[in-house]
Structure 1
Amino acid sequence: MTTAKDLFIIAMDPKPDHPVGQGDLSLALAGAELIDLIGAQVVTLDGDSIVPGGPSASDDRLLGEASAALTRQVPYEHVDDWLWRRGRDLAAAYQAALEADGELTRGRGGRSLFGAERVELADSAALRRARNRWEADEPVLAALAAVVGVQSGPSEEELDLDDEAVTTVLAIVHDAVMELEAVRQRRSIEKAAFANVWRAP
């Protein structure tokens, strides 16, 4: 299992503070993948540039895809560009992967993060692992979950992480999610203004 899969499972678990948006989760999943690649020494950060190293040894298909998608020529990709590029529809890819592995099932009682079809978490080793990390208040998972609104979490100042690269990624994920929310709000305002033009006498 990976941090991204654990995050997806936690986002699916019942009763978040508010529903998790697909776009927010996709950005956070891309950040989680990058953090796992840093941990596996597949990449390092030079400032906010992603510098690739050796090939990924992970047997996780999606993390392998993330490694294969790295920009391996100068100029290297910035973390925020990676989040937007890799994050496109990434939540849907994780849902499909967990369903294929039998870790998500379709059923009446579940809820879907997106789409009309209901899905629920199967009782699996993956679910138990994710919950164990969650209950242990693992700082990276907690920080990513807080960014997408699963619960309130520690501020950037309160995060006690020794790894500067991981701290950098978490900060940039937070900024990207805030940027996405700003885009949503701007579109909502524009849509409301357009509707008012049609309603005006």
Structure 2
Amino acid sequence: MTTPRDLLIVTMDVPPARPVEQGDLSLALAGAELADLLTGGYVTLDGDRVVPGARPATGDRLLDEAGAALVDRAPYETVEDWLWRRGRGLAAAYVSGLDAEELPAGQRHRWMPRRTARQSPADSPARREAADRWASREPLLRGLAAAVGVEEPGALPDPGEESLTVVLAAVNHAVTELESVRQRRRIEDAAFDNIWRAP
């Protein structure tokens, strides 16, 4: 299993501190992919720029797609640019992947596609692996989960590697920025509604 899949299973199985938004999860999944590419030695960071190395052949379709999607020419792209570009629609892609592989369903979020009546086993190696990783309080997984609201936000956990710290910080910044956009839209929508309701 990969960090993105473990993160998705955790968001399905662990009661969240706040509702998990699809956009937030997509950004965090892109960060999880980048973290796996970093720890696998497929990319490095030059400051906050993602520098590709060997193209990955991880055996995981989505992670291999992530590696193939990297910008391979200088000045390369920043971690945050990667999150926004790669993250577009990524949560739905991972949910579909879990459905196709018949991995554990867990708790469905309102934005997740409705699963068929034929459910995956309640207990599976994939779910156990994600649960064990969560129970071990692994800093990377905990930090990504906190960014999307599975846990109350707090100080960024230290994943032990500077490059992973950069990724976690970028995910948190991107999620905060996305929430600011949502708040602006809510304010604009409320103002628009008030105009129509005015006598």
Q: Same fold (TM over 0.5)?
A: yes
Q: Deviations over 1:115-151 (max 9, x none)?
A: 4625776421110000000001011000100010101
Is 1:57 aligned to residue 76 of structure 2?
no
- Alpha carbons of structure 1 residues 171 and 14: separation in structure 2 relative to 1, 3 Å: closer
Q: Deviations over 1:162-189 (max 9, x none)?
A: 3111000100100000000000000000
- The farther-off stretch of 117-126 and 165-174 is 117-126
**Partners of 1:37 and 1:43 within 8 A in 2:** yes
Shift of 1:152: 2.2
Q: Secondary structure at the match of 1:151?
A: coil
Q: Gaps (5+ residues) in structure 1?
A: none
- Alpha carbons of structure 1 residues 195 and 12: separation in structure 2 relative to 1, 3 Å: same
Cα distance in 2 for residues equivalent to 1:190 and 1:17: 27
Q: Secondary structure at the match of 2:44?
A: strand
- Trace 1:1-201 onto structure 2 (pairs within 5 A): 1-105=1-105, 110-115=107-112, 117-118=114-115, 122=121, 123-152=123-152, 154-156=154-156, 159-201=157-199
- Alpha carbons of structure 1 residues 2 and 55: separation in structure 2 relative to 1, 3 Å: same
Superposition TM-score, scaled by structure 1 size: 0.92
Q: Secondary structure at the match of 1:41?
A: coil
Percent identical: 56
Superposition TM-score, scaled by structure 2 size: 0.93
Structure 1 residue ranges, 4+ long, deviating more than 4 angstroms after superposition:
118-121
Q: Give the number of equivalent residue pairs.
A: 196
Question: CA RMSD of the aligned region, Å?
Answer: 1.7
Cα distance in 2 for residues equivalent to 1:121 and 1:173: 30
Cα distance in 1 for residues equivalent to 2:16 and 2:150: 5
